[in-house]
Amino acid sequence: MGVLDRFRLDGKIALVTGGARGLGWEIALSLAEAGARVAVTSRDPETARAAGQKLLKITGQNCIGLACEVSDPRSVEEAVTQVRQKLGPVQILINNAGINIRGRIQNLSLEQFRSVMDTNVTGVWLMCRAAARDMLEGRWGRVVNVGSILSSVGLEERTPYTSAKGAVIQMTRTLALEWASSGITVNCLCPGPFGTEMNRPLMGDREKYAAFVSKIPMRRFGNLEEIGPAVVFLASEASSFVTGSALYVDGGWTAQ
């Protein structure tokens, strides 16, 4: 197998949560372009369906969209079952779905904190548990949990988000150890600032945007198409000896 062949995903079945837009969409598109059959999820059934059809039209791969609430155990199990029935056993899991609620701790409610943790942490745990059956039976799997630069650095007005993303790295490391002898790798992708819908409030505030960019050695936000190749690496045979790691795609922010 040549070096470039090790990045191919032909015939692999991938599930991307939150894959209908933003970084999730770019990730799903990259996996499909590399040869995978991809299922994307969204809370909204129509949004999910449209994303699956768009992937099929662009790449020619058998791709589908499914409604899923990642913090709901029943919804997660149903989504994984549908992938198994329509595409095949899940081999690649990208836990991308996430939310962010900003504000100083004294201005946030417990319900807001819990909602971030439910989606960003519990959702990852539930998805990993649901996909484990297929990967363990097949003795092969790739799990990529999407963390953040805020998995390892702090930032004002982000206590729910930083707490959640820090937990994602620890979950990644622990699952990597649990599954190391089972042919399954588990890694964490940690993006820096990208021009996504989640970051629109920040991008619309000139002062805060300038403060963010000043922290990035490359002096810019990431372009959406710059995230996909990193995920293809972690999802493919090219990363077969990489597990329990965090890959930062952040323009140098965390190098400081």
- How far does CA 21 lie from the centroid of its chain? 12
The pLDDT value recorded for residue 207 is 84
Q: Assess if residue 256 is contained within a domain.
A: no
Q: What is the three-class DSSP state of 188? A: strand
Q: Assess if residue 33 is contained within a domain.
A: yes
The pLDDT value recorded for residue 39 is 98
The pLDDT value recorded for residue 208 is 79
The pLDDT value recorded for residue 197 is 75
Q: Assess if residue 109 is contained within a domain.
A: yes
Q: Assess if residue 118 is contained within a domain.
A: yes
Give the Cα separation of 5 and 8 in Å (integer): 5
Report DSSP letters for 139-153, one per residue: T-EEEEEE--GGGTS
How many domains are contained in the chain? 1
Give the Cα separation of 78 and 83 in Å (integer): 9
CA atoms within 13 A on the CB side of 9: 30
The pLDDT value recorded for residue 153 is 95
Tell the burial category of 126 from Cβ atoms under 10 Å away from its Cβ (0-12, 13-18, 19+). buried
Q: Assess if residue 214 is contained within a domain.
A: no
Cβ atoms 99, 119 nearer than 8 A:
yes
Told to judge if 161 belongs to the known catalytic residues of this protein, a careful annotator would answer yes
Q: Assess if residue 255 is contained within a domain.
A: no
The pLDDT value recorded for residue 106 is 98
Per-residue pLDDT of the chain (256 residues; tens, 9 = 90+): 899 999 999 999 999 999 999 999 999 999 999 999 999 999 999 999 999 999 999 999 999 999 999 999 999 999 999 999 999 999 999 999 999 999 999 999 999 999 999 999 999 999 999 999 999 999 999 999 999 999 999 989 999 999 999 999 999 999 999 999 999 999 999 999 988 777 777 777 788 788 888 989 999 999 999 999 999 999 999 999 999 999 999 999 999 9
Length of the chain, in residues: 256
- What are the backbone dihedrals phi and psi of residue 194, each rounded to the nearest 5 degrees, phi first? -125, 160
Structural domain of 17: 4-191+227-248
* Residue 64, strand partner residues: 39
In CATH, what number is assigned to the domain containing residue 235?
3.40.50.720
Q: Assess if residue 233 is contained within a domain.
A: yes
Active-site pick, 25, 161, 194, 248: 161
Q: Assess if residue 198 is contained within a domain.
A: no
